[in-house]
Amino acid sequence: MQADRQVARGWGRPGAAMHRGRGRQVGLWLAGVGLTWGLAGLGYALALVPGVNHVGPLACSIVLAVVWRHVAGYPERLRPGIQFSARRLLRWAIVLAGAQLNLVVVVHNGLGLLLRDAATIVFALGVMGLLARWAKADGTLSFLLGVGTGVCGASAIAAVSPVVKAADEDTALAAGMVAVVGTVAAVLYTVVHAWLPLAPKAYGLWCGISLHEVAQVALAAAPAGNAALALALLAKLGRVFLLVPLTFLLMLWQRRRGATVADDWARPEFPWFLLGFVAVSAVVSTATWAGWLIPAWLLQAVAAISKFWLAGAMVGLGFHVHAGSLRGRALRPLLVLCVTSLLLSLGTYWTV
Residues making up the chain, counted from first to last: 352
pLDDT confidence tier of residue 271, bands split at 50, 70 and 90: confident
User: To the nearest 10°, the Cα dihedral for 111, 115, 116, 120?
Assistant: 150
Residue from 157, 348, 151 nearest 240 by CA: 151
Is 328 a domain residue? yes
DSSP-derived secondary structure letter, 212: S
- Residue 312, pLDDT above cutoff 80: yes
Is 10 a domain residue? no
- Residue 71, pLDDT above cutoff 80: yes
211 three-state secondary structure: coil
Whole-number pLDDT of residue 106? 78
Mean pLDDT within 218-225: 89
Whole-number pLDDT of residue 257? 66
CA 230, 339, 249, 254 dihedral sign is negative
pLDDT confidence tier of residue 92, bands split at 50, 70 and 90: very high
pLDDT confidence tier of residue 33, bands split at 50, 70 and 90: very high
For 23, 95, 273, 283, the CA distances from 270, given in Å and listed in that order, are 33, 14, 9, 22
Q: Distance between CA atoms of 161 and 337, rounded to whole angstroms? A: 18
- Residue 108, pLDDT above cutoff 90: no
Is 17 a domain residue? no
Instruction: List the domain range (segments joined by +) for residue 214.
Output: 34-349
pTM given for the model: 0.81
**Total domains, the chain:** 1
Residue from 175, 160, 143, 146 nearest 243 by CA: 160
From the centroid of its chain, how far is CA 214? Answer: 11
5-14 burial, b at 16+ Cβ within 10 Å, e below that, comes to eeeeeeeeee
Whole-number pLDDT of residue 258? 59
Is 19 a domain residue? no
User: Identity (one letter) of the amino acid at 267?
Assistant: R
Q: Distance between CA atoms of 85 and 317, rounded to whole angstroms? A: 8
- Residue 265, pLDDT above cutoff 60: no
Residue from 11, 244, 265, 230 nearest 139 by CA: 265
For 256, 286, 300, 340, the CA distances from 294, given in Å and listed in that order, are 42, 11, 11, 40
Is 314 a domain residue? yes
Cβ contacts of 2 within 8 Å, gap of 6 or more? none
Residue from 271, 206, 217 nearest 240 by CA: 217
Whole-number pLDDT of residue 268? 55
192: left (phi > 0), else alpha (psi -120 to 50), else beta? alpha
Mean pLDDT within 50-54: 76
Whole-number pLDDT of residue 136? 92
Is 18 a domain residue? no
User: Identity (one letter) of the amino acid at 142?
Assistant: S
Is 188 a domain residue? yes
User: What are the pLDDT digits (tens) for 182-201?
Assistant: 988 998 998 898 899 999 98
Is 2 a domain residue? no
| Of 60-64, 272-276, 336-340, minimum mean pLDDT range | 272-276
User: What are the pLDDT digits (tens) for 230-250?
Assistant: 889 888 988 988 998 998 888
Q: Distance between CA atoms of 202 and 210, rounded to whole angstroms? A: 12
